[in-house]
């Protein structure tokens, strides 16, 4: 494989049985079709801050400043975190959120009940969350199938490193020094699909896929042109549908061996568009963001998390955002998000807000 170190774009070396090229941010100037390995674009040296940021390194001060200047006009704000106890029955045996209010003694011997603390027990994956780079791996060799048991995480991080509590490589703490801030764009698939003739009907708890063609059509309908550094949101309408479920239906959903989730299609065409558009992170209200189970050989999680260091946001509450965008006829906004500063963290509530 070509060593690009002379151009300042990358350096290559052998790590075990895998030859690895590690890039710097200039790799983003290369189109998807020209990448040496489009499934593996690892920035920085192992355990470096650049590696920990991954594609968030596109959010330079210049990009963020331009986004703030173009998007913050009215001061209207909307939070994007779902109620932490709404997805009370979750897949994969994930722990539901538990919240306890604890009385503590007040000052001067006042006694219990003069002050309160609270205690949270939670799995961020059970509600609105960013998937960090420790969440999902890819095959050790990128030409191997997704079912390969020999796997690595972003940057070549191993499961042994992640299981080592003293090793914080590619942990979510790298995102917190500056947070995630920039221009957000919403593609409101639920609203767009219902406006088609005939309407596109689907369940968010099925293998319905948001096609790449639909994504392009929504960009045209909403007058949205992606810019480098944009954070892309796609709304499927999962939350209103979840609210129609009975408690028994929710329990049956959680008990399925392999639940079905609607989401974006997993395709090379979509990946090329994301890369060449300069999208820095993706998110949505869907439980898996991409359609699940993933058909075929392309896994967006493998490419985005394991290959590019691109955050994936899931179960974001986009209902109020959808209404404001429709009211203003404007589908771009300024986004702020500060994940938890947890060394070695795998995922985090987004603490996200859109500002118009």
| Spatial distance between the Cα atoms of 286 and 298, rounded to a whole number of angstroms | 18
Query: For 196-318, where are the alpha helices, taking DSSP H only?
Result: 212-221, 238-244, 247-255, 268-277, 300-301
| Spatial distance between the Cα atoms of 169 and 345, rounded to a whole number of angstroms | 9
> Could you tell me if 263 and 294 are in contact, meaning their C-beta atoms sit under 8 angstroms apart?
no
Walk me through the domains of the chain, giving residue ranges and CATH numbers. 32-91+121-355 (3.50.30.50)
Higher pLDDT, 7 or 342: 342
pLDDT at 13 over 70: no
pLDDT confidence of residue 15 = 55
263-264 and 209-210 strand pairing:
parallel
| Spatial distance between the Cα atoms of 147 and 139, rounded to a whole number of angstroms | 8
Model confidence over 112-129: pLDDT tens digits? 888 888 988 888 888 999
Average pLDDT for 53-80 = 98
pLDDT confidence of residue 274 = 98
pLDDT confidence of residue 2 = 32
State what percent of residues in the chain have pLDDT above 70.
95
> Could you tell me if 92 and 171 are in contact, meaning their C-beta atoms sit under 8 angstroms apart?
no
pLDDT at 14 over 60: no
pLDDT at 184 over 80: yes
Q: How confident is the model at residue 23 (pLDDT cuts 50, 70, 90)?
A: very high
Average pLDDT for 50-65 = 98
> Could you tell me if 210 and 217 are in contact, meaning their C-beta atoms sit under 8 angstroms apart?
no
Model confidence over 247-277: pLDDT tens digits? 999 888 888 888 899 999 999 999 999 999 9
pLDDT confidence of residue 350 = 97
pLDDT at 186 over 90: yes
pLDDT confidence of residue 4 = 32
pLDDT at 222 over 60: yes
Strand, helix or coil for residue 336: strand
Taking CA atoms, 355 is separated from 181, 183, 233, in Å, by 11, 10, 14
| Spatial distance between the Cα atoms of 84 and 331, rounded to a whole number of angstroms | 26
pLDDT confidence of residue 152 = 95
Query: Sheet harboring 18-23: ordered strands across?
Result: 10-15, 18-23, 42-43
pLDDT at 6 over 50: no
Model confidence over 223-238: pLDDT tens digits? 999 999 999 999 999 9
pLDDT confidence of residue 256 = 85
pLDDT confidence of residue 135 = 96
Average pLDDT for 161-166 = 96
Q: How confident is the model at residue 16 (pLDDT cuts 50, 70, 90)?
A: low
Residue that is written with structure tokens 């940057």 in the block: 155
Q: What are the DSSP calls for 213-241, one per residue?
A: HHHHHHHHHTT----TT-EEEEE--HHHH
Q: What's the whole-number average pLDDT of the chain? A: 91
Higher pLDDT, 313 or 17: 313
pLDDT at 283 over 80: yes
Q: How confident is the model at residue 21 (pLDDT cuts 50, 70, 90)?
A: confident
Average pLDDT for 30-44 = 96
Q: How confident is the model at residue 67 (pLDDT cuts 50, 70, 90)?
A: very high
Taking CA atoms, 52 is separated from 20, 47, 132, 184, 214, in Å, by 17, 7, 10, 22, 32
pLDDT confidence of residue 8 = 35
> Could you tell me if 286 and 260 are in contact, meaning their C-beta atoms sit under 8 angstroms apart?
no
């Amino acid at each position: 494989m070509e060593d690009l170190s002379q151009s300042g774009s990358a350096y290559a070396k052998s790590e075990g049985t895998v030859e690895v090229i590690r890039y710097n941010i200039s790799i983003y100037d290369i189109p998807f079709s020209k990448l040496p390995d489009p499934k593996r674009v690892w920035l920085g040296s192992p355990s470096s801050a650049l590696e920990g940021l991954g594609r968030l390194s596109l959010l330079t001060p210049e990009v963020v400043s331009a986004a703030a200047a173009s998007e913050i006009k009215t001061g209207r704000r909307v939070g994007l975190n779902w109620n932490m106890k709404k997805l009370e029955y979750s897949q994969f045996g994930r722990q539901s959120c538990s919240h306890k209010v604890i009385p503590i003694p007040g000052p001067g011997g006042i006694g219990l009940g003069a002050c309160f603390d609270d205690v949270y027990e939670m799995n961020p994956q059970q509600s609105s969350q960013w998937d960090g780079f420790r969440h999902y791996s890819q095959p050790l060799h990128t030409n191997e199938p997704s079912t390969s048991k020999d796997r690595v995480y972003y940057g070549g991080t191993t499961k042994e490193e992640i299981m080592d509590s003293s090793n914080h490589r590619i942990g979510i703490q790298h995102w917190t020094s500056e947070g995630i801030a920039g221009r957000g764009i919403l593609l409101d698939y639920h609203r767009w699909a219902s406006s088609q003739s005939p309407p596109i009907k689907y369940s968010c708890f099925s293998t319905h896929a948001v096609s790449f063609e639909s994504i392009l059509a929504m960009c045209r309908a909403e007058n949205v042109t992606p810019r480098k550094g944009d954070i892309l949101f796609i709304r499927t309408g999962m939350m209103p549908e979840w609210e129609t479920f009975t408690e028994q239906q929710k329990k049956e959903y959680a008990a399925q061996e392999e639940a079905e989730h609607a989401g974006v299609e997993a395709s090379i065409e979509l990946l090329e568009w994301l890369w060449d558009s300069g999208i820095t992170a993706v998110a949505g209200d869907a439980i898996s963001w991409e359609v699940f189970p993933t058909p075929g050989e392309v896994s967006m999680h493998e490419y985005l998390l394991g290959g590019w260091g691109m955050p994936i946001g899931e179960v974001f509450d986009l209902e109020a955002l959808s209404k404001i965008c429709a009211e203003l006829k404007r589908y771009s906004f300024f986004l702020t998000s500060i994940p938890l500063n947890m060394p070695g963290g795998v995922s985090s509530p987004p603490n996200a807000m859109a500002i118009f």
